[in-house]
């Protein structure tokens, strides 16, 4: 019987013969491959993985279609902006129903709700692919979990858009956020409401935390008679229609979608501004729910999602930058993280969130 080299190795490994004689790297490779094959076989028997993820057809398709095509495992997908996930999961788990496997969304949902209610579980036992587990794969030199229990992983640390203008505004008109304090902009600024969760709150948290801006800058900005609303499309329309000149802190993904529809707005590149912008994964964090009903399919899905192929599919659809160093960034180069930029998504940012909200309510009430 003729047998290739790799086949021969696998054959003798099954007999328990060559393990001691093989180089450690070959033995390790065979070990993870064997685990992967067993998990994949069990996952196909489970038949599906249930994912709660971000809204938007393009994001849903990126998180569903390539995986189903590659592995033949169905993805049951439900889109949610994040606010609906904790009450849904809390009600289901209190009733003893564990229906969901994977959560893809923002770190705020994990840190402030899902982790405190014990709705998640550590992710390390679900990681199989060697390149996924290799620290050198990742932008920060390691996988970035935002909690000590390693239950919420950052996949897409990206510079966040904070300023939106009409497309006819010349680059260089604004070189610093402090330029917004010029009297000519009084009554011409609209902002996403920072008193409730969302990009407006993240933007003003960035202002609050930045050492060159801070509370005094926010007080002065409020004296510019900003319009404060909470409707992404309306905010964007105000700029496109010329009713206002500058928009602070709307949804950049919504803005990009509206730009494709022909709305004449422009997202300011953070590198145009002296202070840059904050880093956030937006809806690009991933977690595994406690008592995931399809544990093997969950392992397959998570390793695919964190692979080069899975990350490329997700970040190109969402417009983010992957934490993997080998994933292309040419689709959105302005989002590549700037070293030293303020983070508005980690526990330190969450710890001052209530302080920021209380401050904003106070200054906007005057």
Select from 320, 248, 353, 355 the least CA-distant residue to 58. Answer: 320
Identical fold for domains 47-158+281-335 and 161-277+346-365, yes or no, is yes
Euclidean distance between the first and final Cα of the chain, in Å? 87
Concatenated DSSP letters of 284-336: -EEEEETT-S-HHHHHHHHHHHTSHHHHHHHHHHHT---SBTTS--TTSGGGS
Least confident of 29-33, 92-96, 129-133, 347-351: 29-33
Domain segments of the chain as ranges: 47-158+281-335, 161-277+346-365
Fold topology of 161-277+346-365: D-Maltodextrin-Binding Protein; domain 2 (3.40.190)
pTM: 0.84
Beta strands 102-105; 152-154: pairing state: unpaired
Q: What kind of fold does domain 47-158+281-335 have according to CATH?
A: D-Maltodextrin-Binding Protein; domain 2 (3.40.190)
Q: What is the DSSP letter of 245?
A: S
pLDDT at 56: 86
Distances (CA, A) of 212 to 19, 84, 172, 218, 361: 60, 36, 20, 11, 22
pLDDT digits (tens, 9 = 90+) for 212-221: 999 999 999 9
What is the arithmetic mean of pLDDT over 58-77? 97
The model's confidence at residue 274, banded by pLDDT at 50, 70 and 90, is: very high
Write down the mean pLDDT value for the chain: 92
Can you read off the two tokens belonging to residue 113?
């709700």
Pairing of strands 227-229, 189-192: parallel
Q: Binning pLDDT at 50, 70 and 90, where does residue 29 land?
A: low
360 vs 14, more confident = 360
CB 344 within 8 A of CB 278: yes
Contact (CB, 8 A) for 315 and 321: yes
What tokens were used for 127? 């990681």
Residue keyed to tokens 């060697």: 130
Alpha-carbon gap, residue 218 to 207, rounded angstroms: 7
Give CA–CA dist 6/23, Å, rounded: 14
Residue 19: per-residue pLDDT: 40
User: What is the pLDDT at residue 366?
Assistant: 75
pLDDT tens figures, 105-148: 999 999 999 999 999 999 999 999 999 999 999 998 999 999 99
Q: Of the ranges 69-73, 125-129, 131-135, 330-334, which one carries the lowest mean pLDDT score?
A: 330-334
For 238-251, what is the mean pLDDT? 97
Report the Cα 48 to chain-centroid distance in Å: 23
pLDDT value at 18 more than 60: no
DSSP per position, 14-60: HTT-STTTS-HHHHHHHHHHHHHHHHHHHHHHH-EEEEEE-SSHHHH
């Amino acid at each position: 019987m003729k047998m290739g080299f790799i086949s021969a190795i696998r054959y003798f490994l099954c007999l328990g013969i060559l393990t001691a004689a093989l180089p450690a790297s070959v033995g390790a490779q065979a070990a993870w491959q064997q685990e992967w094959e067993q998990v994949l076989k069990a996952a196909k028997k489970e038949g599906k993985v249930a994912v709660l993820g971000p809204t938007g057809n393009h994001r849903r398709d990126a998180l569903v279609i390539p995986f189903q095509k590659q592995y033949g495992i169905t993805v049951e997908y439900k889109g949610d902006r994040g606010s609906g996930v904790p009450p849904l999961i809390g009600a289901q788990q209190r009733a003893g129903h564990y229906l969901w496997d994977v959560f893809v969304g923002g770190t705020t949902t994990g840190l402030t709700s899902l982790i405190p209610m014990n709705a998640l579980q550590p992710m390390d036992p679900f990681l199989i692919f060697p390149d996924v587990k290799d620290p050198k794969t990742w932008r920060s030199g390691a996988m970035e979990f935002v909690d000590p229990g390693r239950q919420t992983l950052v996949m897409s640390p990206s510079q966040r858009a904070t300023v939106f203008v009409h497309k006819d505004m010349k680059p260089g008109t604004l070189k610093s956020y402090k330029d917004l304090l010029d009297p000519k902009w009084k009554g011409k600024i609209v902002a996403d409401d920072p008193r409730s969760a969302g990009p407006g709150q993240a933007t003003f948290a960035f202002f609050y935390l930045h050492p060159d801006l801070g509370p005094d800058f926010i007080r002065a900005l409020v004296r510019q008679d900003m319009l404060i609303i909470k409707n992404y499309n309306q905010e964007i329309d105000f700029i496109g229609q010329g009713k206002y000149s500058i928009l602070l802190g709307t949804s950049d993904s919504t803005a990009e979608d509206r730009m494709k529809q022909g709305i004449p707005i422009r997202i300011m590149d953070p590198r145009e501004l002296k202070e840059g912008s904050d880093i956030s994964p937006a809806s690009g964090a991933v977690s595994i729910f406690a008592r995931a009903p399809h544990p093997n399919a969950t392992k397959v899905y998570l390793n695919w999602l964190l692979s080069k192929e899975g990350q490329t599919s997700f970040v190109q659809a969402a417009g983010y930058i992957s934490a993997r160093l080998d994933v292309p960034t040419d689709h959105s180069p302005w989002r590549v993280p700037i070293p030293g930029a303020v983070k508005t998504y980690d526990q330190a940012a969450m710890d001052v969130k209530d302080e920021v909200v209380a401050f904003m309510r106070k200054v906007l009430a005057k």
